Amino acid sequence: MPNKIPTNIKLNFSKKVFQDAISTNINAALNEDLGGIDKTTQLISKNGLGFAIIKANQGAILCGSPWVNSCFKKLNNKIKINWLASEGQLIKKGQTICEIQGKYTDILAGERVALNFLQTLSATATETNTMVRLIKKYNAQLFDTRKTIPGLRIAQKYAVRIGGAENQRLGLYDQILIKENHIKSFVNLSDLLNKVKLNDEFDKIQIEVEDLSELKKVLSYGIKNILLDNFTVPKIKEAIKINKNRAILEASGNIDKNNIADFAKTGVDRISVGLITKNIHSIDFSMNIDRK
């Protein structure tokens, strides 16, 4: 199976960026694990053929098949992988998700790397999907943040999309988001806003505000995208009244599965949550292999 993006998933980055990220991830992971040699499989016949299955040991949203494919193809392009479950599918405990055929040594060498990506990305997609389902009857959209595992930014952004949420900016390079510490680096908020007004990307710039007075000031400058940082539900309701649909309002900070529906009920446009990429619990997958 090629490293295809599911047809219903629209990413904020190009196919080349996606493919390059997979290649970089797999090269780094294989180098980390193998270091050029797998001493254990040196004891096994290089010509022996293996047949393996990967099984889910708990329910989850499946995510990471492009990384699994790339891992085994990197080790031996002749390895065959037959996927029995689709990327983004809800899988059940005990379900076999794919079959792998090829040299015994190559399958064993790639086992841990492949499972590591599968368990991490499926965890991200599953956590994301849980949050999405909690607010599905409201108009608010769920977004991720830059709080990703180092080196896995594109991978986790992809997993968030598989889970049904939206991507915030990829990094510092593709969108301006002015946060509290940026504001503190200026003499005052007015000086910063005057500079922002001159920026060619003015309509796309997002500014973080800490209270309602800052919100009013930012709105007076015509900012179209505002992040409400650590606002309580009552304060968000007040912010919405003040805003009068002039800007996109995004709630962020101290939002989890227990209270996300309360934030969505306010009518806020967006909710960004860091825990869907940083507070994940790996999904349990295992590989079982037989000689052929």
Return the active site residues: 112, 147, 179, 208, 229
Q: Up-side HSE of residue 102: CA atoms within 13 Å toward CB?
A: 22
CB 106 within 8 A of CB 76: yes
Quote the CA–CA distance of 233 and 52 in Å, as a whole number: 50
153-171 b/e (C-beta count within 10 Å ≥ 16 → b): bbbbbbbbbbbbbbbbbbe
Alpha-carbon Rg for the chain in angstroms: 23
CB 157 within 8 A of CB 149: no
The long-range contacts involving 223-228, CB below 8 angstroms and separated by at least 24 positions, are 223/193, 223/196, 223/247, 224/248, 225/250, 226/250, 227/177, 227/179, 227/252, 227/272, 228/252, 228/268
Q: Which two tokens stand for residue 80?
A: 């065959």
Q: Which two tokens stand for residue 69?
A: 């494919």
CB 238 within 8 A of CB 216: no
Owner of token pair 């949550």: 273
Quote the CA–CA distance of 107 and 114 in Å, as a whole number: 10
CB 104 within 8 A of CB 44: yes
DSSP code for 2? -
C-alpha 148: how far from chain center: 7
